[in-house]
Amino acid sequence: MSSLPALFGVLVFTFLLMRVLPGDPAVFFASGPNAGKEEVELIRKQLGLNKSIPEQLTLYLYDVGRGNLGRSMMTGQLVTKDLRERLPASLELTFTALLIALVSAVPLGVIAALKPGSIIDHSVRLFCALGVCVPTFVSGLLLIYVFYYLLGLAPDPTGRIDVFTSMPPSRTGFLMIDFLIAGDIDGWWAAFKQLILPALSMALFVIAPLARITRASMLVSLGSDFVRTARSVGLSWRHVVVTYALRNAILPVITIAGIVFSTMLGANVLVEKVFSWPGVASYALDALLSSDYAPVQGFVLLMASLFVLVNLAVDVCYGIADPRVTIE
């Protein structure tokens, strides 16, 4: 719950950043650079920009409290509506990437730690060293080049679904699930092919930190006194590695997984731009570049809320995994 004050902090912070600092949005939304003073004043009034800063903040907080994040100038829709429509796309992408990353990173880290100094260990370390160096936007573009242009395996890298497939009836907003519910296997496959490249490029970037921390904490675990104790009474190799070493080693991985998820929320901006993914990040980015700040605020606020939820989930997982921690 320690992250709740952070949520409020982010709220005030985004507000201040957007309103106090230079860059007058009223001028931007006026008809053109030659717009008259009156026109600018009018827009200013419409946006509530003529009130004092504390007043604006109070109004803003009041609006946020009622679930009103304002209206986007770009789409002309309520920001909450836009975000709600686009959030599932971002979440589906992020969760898939996290799943890919965890499923590949944890075994890699464990195998490397079990045989330190072996060829496997060295290849894992090399892979990790390279993995953190390639920015997501570069790896995404290179994946497009190889799988779309060279091999022709992947579909046109724009959007969640190609133009020939019709959207399934929306239940969860996650296409992978909605297509399954609708029983449309072809649609599922089409959506999967769209999803896999962006998810992969995002996962590639975070496999490295996850594998590294798994390997490191597994090494610490394997060298610890309690593993020696377990070996000293003759427990089987499996029992020692899985029940004693791995269960302890997974604790730091949980913490890092939380941070990694957070990083991926940020990396969404890059990946969604590369793959024209209709998620919240690309929406916020477009708004940002046109000084439409209600969507940006809404986006940052959404990220902050997600981040509070993620931290809560991490705390709960940690509390379950480690009896030394008590959840308040």
Contacts (CB under 8 A) with another protein, residues 186-245: 212, 215-216, 219, 224-226, 228-237, 239, 243-244
Number of residues this chain uses to bind another protein (CB under 8 A): 80
Residues 235 and 171: their CA atoms lie apart, in Å, by: 49
Q: Which residue type, as a one-letter code, is found at position 30? A: A
Instruction: Write out the two tokens for 323.
Output: 């009896």
Instruction: Name the residue nearer to another protein (CB basis): 35 or 321.
Output: 321
Residues 48-107 that bind another protein (CB under 8 A): none
The nearer residue to another protein, 104 or 262, going by C-beta atoms, is 262
3-class secondary structure, 294: helix
Tokens of 249: 């080693």
CB of residue 71 to another protein, shortest distance in Å: 19
Q: How far is the CB of 15 from another protein (least distance, A)?
A: 10
Q: Could you say which of 59, 99, 103, 133 contacts another protein (CB under 8 A)?
A: 133
Q: Which is nearer to another protein, 160 or 215 (CB)?
A: 215
Three-state SS for 213? helix
Q: Closest CB to another protein among 188 and 204? A: 204
Instruction: Figure out which of the listed residues 8, 62, 145, 189 binds another protein, where binding follows CB under 8 A.
Output: 145
With respect to another protein, which residue has the nearer C-beta, 179 or 318? 318
Distance CA 60, CA 138 (A): 38
Closer residue to another protein (CB): 44 or 215: 215
Nearer to another protein, 20 or 99 (CB): 20
Q: Please report how close the Cβ of residue 168 comes to another protein at its closest, in angstroms.
A: 27
Other beta carbons within 10 angstroms of residue 67's beta carbon come to: 8
Joined tokens for residue 213? 């921390």
Coil, helix or strand for 78? strand
- Residue 183 CB, nearest distance to another protein (Å)? 33
Tell which residue, 307, 303, 300, has the closest CA to residue 14: 300
Q: Residue 20 CB: number of other CB atoms within 10 A?
A: 10
Residue 221 to residue 249: CA distance in whole angstroms: 6
Provide, rounded to whole angstroms, the least separation between the CB of residue 244 and another protein: 6
Please report how close the Cβ of residue 138 comes to another protein at its closest, in angstroms.
3
Residue list 262-301, contact with another protein (CB under 8 A): 262-263, 265-267, 269-270, 273-274, 285, 288-289, 296, 299-300
**What is d(CA 4, CA 148) in angstroms, rounded to the nearest whole number?**
43
DSSP 182-223: HT-HHHHHHHHHHHHHHHHHHHHHHHHHHHHHHHHHHHHHHT
Residues 156 and 193: their CA atoms lie apart, in Å, by 10
Tokens of 119: 């060829």
One character per residue 4-43, x = contact with another protein (rule: CB under 8 A): -xx---x---x--xx--xxx--------------------
Question: What count of other Cβ atoms lies within 10 Å of the Cβ of residue 105?
Answer: 28
